[in-house]
Amino acid sequence: MTTLDVNTLANAKAKGKRPYFFDDPAVERVLSITMAVAGELAVTRERLDTVERLLEAGTPVTKANIDAYRPDDDAAQERQAWHAEYISRILRIVHQELEALQATDDVSPEELADKMAAS
Amino acid sequence: MAASLPPTYDRTAPNALGAKVNHDEIARFNFLTSVNVHLGTQLFPGTKLAFEQRVKPAFKKAQGREIATRVEVRDAMRTDPLYQTWAALRRNTMEMRQQTGRAIALRQLDALIARAKELNDAKPTLQLNPQTKIPRYISEVDNHCMPGSYYGELVPDDVSGPANYDLGVFVTGAGSMSARNDGGGRGVAKFVRERWPDFKPKRIMDLGGGIGSNTLPIAQAFPDAEVIVVDVGAPVLRYGHARAQAMGYDKVKFVQAALEDLPFEPNSFDWIQSTMFWHETSAPAITNGMKRIYELLAPGGMTLHAEQPNFTESTPLWEKFTKDWDAWYNNEPFWSKFHTMNVIDLMTAAGFQKDKLIEGEVVSDVEPGFYQPWAGSLSRHAPEKTNTAPTTRAWRGWYMFGGWK
């Protein structure tokens, strides 16, 4: 039997120099960790959804039943819609920056405050 | 407009070697697939806006001229915060896919190896050659960020690399490669049957065929042909052969050889196919490889290659930049150079006559019923995406080129 350190080996890096996109690699590191945590919460949420659906159906909530559960088309759509909504929510600031790029008439509240005070 | 949703991972066919994907791993893949779709359809269009609105004008102001090359676009975009976020997320999502797939494969590696051994045992259809030299274009970086690439072995008889690959393809293509990752091969088989209904190849080679996922639909379409998958990596062949056996394709051969050293007789193949292969090679490899293909083809034989389309005079600068992204940031180093090569010239230099060349486009052919009725096919790259007929949902096709001898 092979005894491999699965946790370490699953994390293996692909050969080749890794590109970093932010000016400071620390930003990338934190983003990566944040997305991993976000992913794990999504996993927990999907598991909770399965538990709720088993309970609703009167099926015993066992580990085996959770693993065997397959959503029907409607349930799958609801779960995928949740993922889409959730990802949209965690990436809010990026979308707001994109929106700001489209809105050319944004003024800063500080400038506005000065303007208001003057008049 | 509400965003389209990808199908769920549980719709994929059960792993042919019996790798079990548990509830939480399915959920993890669902999350990553959804992130890919979000990046491709929601944020990626924003990076183009950032290019048009601030990156391009800033370049012109600083340089006194328009931005002119894809490398200039790449370097200028690297300073844009929206692009930085999109790119970092995209790279990261690929890495997370690899990690998730590797964890699944490694957790049950003993069982996978045992199953592969049982299916491969003493079968003459699996021909491994430990003397095979791994070419530099494969050994220098792990293509598409897949640790261990096609040839790496953690233990003797390892199949964890290809098992990870087979498990994770769904995530990157958001299901567009069909239930068995064979959408490309299904599309190629359909393309050939429709275009040349009288073509009856007796011997077919799938060059760089890896686990053979795109080869099996060809074997299915041409059941009387001898079909040979050639690849440089032992683990992918071990896995692919066992996978083919488990799926009932017991005649398909899996042969370990490098493109530079193909162990076959001249004039011995009626069809030599490759599917998304050349962009993982090099300029000498494709130049010499095409000559070798010409030699190996029987008179009246045909070669066909599904690949990235080459850039032309009219390819917009932005499209060139986005199509080259994987070369620079997803460990596909030759992808960029390949885009600029004239494959028609390559073919004619190899001996093919100009009037016998083939060009076309193939789309991934998705099994009817694989998608839930509400689901859409969404690539991580929005511009590559097109939904076609209701039964076959596919991203925009691959460029097909080839020729008759």
For residue B99, what pLDDT band results from cuts at 50, 70 and 90?
Answer: very high
Q: Which residues pair with B230 in a beta bridge?
A: B207, B255
Q: B298 and B180 in one domain? A: yes
Cα-flanking dihedrals φ and ψ of residue B214, to 5°?
-90, -10
Chain B residues with CB under 8 Å of A46 CB are: 23-24, 27, 30-31
Residue of B5, B88, B102 lying closest to A84 (CB–CB): B5
B238 contacts chain A (CB < 8 A) = no
B10 contacts chain A (CB < 8 A) = yes
In a domain, B128, yes or no: no
Q: What is the pLDDT of residues B136-160, one digit of tens each?
A: 999 998 888 999 999 999 999 999 9
What integer best gives the mean pLDDT of chain B? Answer: 91
Number of alpha carbons in the 13 Å side-chain half-sphere of residue B280: 27
Q: B183 and B112 in one domain? A: no
Q: What is the pLDDT of residue B381?
A: 42
Question: What's the rounded Cα separation, in Å, for the pair B287 and B368?
Answer: 39
For residue B378, what pLDDT band results from cuts at 50, 70 and 90?
Answer: low
B364: left (phi over 0), alpha (psi -120 to 50) or beta: beta
Q: B354 and B322 in one domain? A: yes
What average pLDDT does this structure show over B220-240?
98
Contact B106 A32 (CB under 8 A): no
Work out the minimum CA distance from A117 to partner chain B, whole angstroms.
Answer: 32
> In sequence order, what are the residues at sequence separation of 6 or more whose Cβ sits closer than 8 angstroms to the Cβ of residue B119?
B17, B241, B242, B245, B246
Q: B156 and B236 in one domain? A: no
Helix (H, G, I), strand (E, B) or coil at A61: coil
In a domain, B259, yes or no: yes
The two structure tokens encoding residue A96: 């707001």
Decide if pLDDT at A114 tops 90: no
Decide if pLDDT at B389 tops 70: no
Question: What's the rounded Cα separation, in Å, for the pair A101 and B116?
Answer: 54
Q: What is the pLDDT of residue B170?
A: 93
Q: What is the pLDDT of residues B333-370, one digit of tens each?
A: 888 888 889 999 999 999 999 999 999 989 888 888 88
∠ CA A70-A74-A76, nearest 5°, is: 45
Q: For residue B282, how many other CB atoms are within 10 A of its CB? A: 20
Domain at B187, CATH number: 3.40.50.150
Work out the minimum CA distance from B115 to partner chain A, whole angstroms.
Answer: 14
Q: What is the pLDDT of residue B371?
A: 86
Q: B296 and B160 in one domain? A: no
Contact B91 A21 (CB under 8 A): yes
What integer best gives the mean pLDDT of chain A? Answer: 93
B167 contacts chain A (CB < 8 A) = no
Tell me if A21 sits within 8 A of B92, measured CB to CB: no
Question: What's the rounded Cα separation, in Å, for the pair B46 and B41?
Answer: 9
Contact B34 A84 (CB under 8 A): yes
∠ CA A45-A47-A49, nearest 5°, is: 70
A4 contacts chain B (CB < 8 A) = yes
- DSSP run (H or E) holding B102: helix B81-107
What average pLDDT does this structure show over A30-56?
98
In a domain, B283, yes or no: yes
Q: B290 and B188 in one domain? A: yes
- pTM for the model stands at 0.93
Q: B145 and B202 in one domain? A: no
B65 contacts chain A (CB < 8 A) = no
In a domain, B203, yes or no: yes
How many residues in total does chain B contain?
405
Question: What's the rounded Cα separation, in Å, for the pair B176 and B365?
Answer: 8
Q: What is the pLDDT of residue B200?
A: 97
Helix (H, G, I), strand (E, B) or coil at B361: strand
Q: What is the pLDDT of residue B358?
A: 96
Q: B183 and B160 in one domain? A: no
- DSSP run (H or E) holding B229: strand B226-231
B154 contacts chain A (CB < 8 A) = yes
**Which of A54-68, B31-45, B108-122 shows the lowest per-residue confidence on average (mean pLDDT)?**
B31-45
Q: B280 and B392 in one domain? A: yes
Q: Please tell me which residue, B246 or B397, carries the higher pLDDT value.
A: B246
Tell me if B338 sits within 8 A of B290, measured CB to CB: no
Q: B152 and B261 in one domain? A: no
B109 contacts chain A (CB < 8 A) = yes
Question: What's the rounded Cα separation, in Å, for the pair B10 and B365?
Answer: 19
Q: What is the pLDDT of residue B390?
A: 32
In a domain, B130, yes or no: no
Helix (H, G, I), strand (E, B) or coil at B206: strand
Residue of A36, A71, A101 lying closest to B8 (CB–CB): A71
A73 contacts chain B (CB < 8 A) = yes
Among residues B350, B130, B311, the alpha carbon closest in space to that of B234 is found at B130
ipTM of the complex: 0.93
In chain B, helix, strand, coil percent, each to 5? Answer: 50, 15, 40
Decide if pLDDT at B283 tops 70: yes
Question: What's the rounded Cα separation, in Å, for the pair B262 and B258?
Answer: 6
What average pLDDT does this structure show over B31-46?
93
In a domain, B2, yes or no: no
Question: What's the rounded Cα separation, in Å, for the pair B405 and B399?
Answer: 20
> In sequence order, what are the residues at sequence separation of 6 or more whose Cβ sits closer than 8 angstroms to the Cβ of residue B136?
B282
A91 contacts chain B (CB < 8 A) = yes
What average pLDDT does this structure show over A12-33?
96
In a domain, B319, yes or no: yes
Q: What is the pLDDT of residue B398?
A: 85
Decide if pLDDT at B260 tops 90: yes
A2 contacts chain B (CB < 8 A) = yes
In a domain, B289, yes or no: yes
Q: B300 and B247 in one domain? A: yes
Q: B268 and B297 in one domain? A: yes
Contact A83 B30 (CB under 8 A): yes
How many independent structural domains does chain B possess? 2
Work out the minimum CA distance from A96 to partner chain B, whole angstroms.
Answer: 10
Chain B residues with CB under 8 Å of A80 CB are: 5-6, 8, 30, 34, 375
Among residues B169, B218, B202, the alpha carbon closest in space to that of B395 is found at B169
DSSP H stretches of helix in B251-364: 283-296, 317-323, 325-329, 334-340, 343-349
Q: What is the pLDDT of residue A93?
A: 97
Decide if pLDDT at B64 tops 80: yes
The two structure tokens encoding residue B183: 């959408």
For residue B380, what pLDDT band results from cuts at 50, 70 and 90?
Answer: very low
The two structure tokens encoding residue B190: 């359909």
Q: What is the pLDDT of residue A118?
A: 83
Question: What's the rounded Cα separation, in Å, for the pair B33 and B167?
Answer: 13
Domain extent for B300 = 175-368+377-404
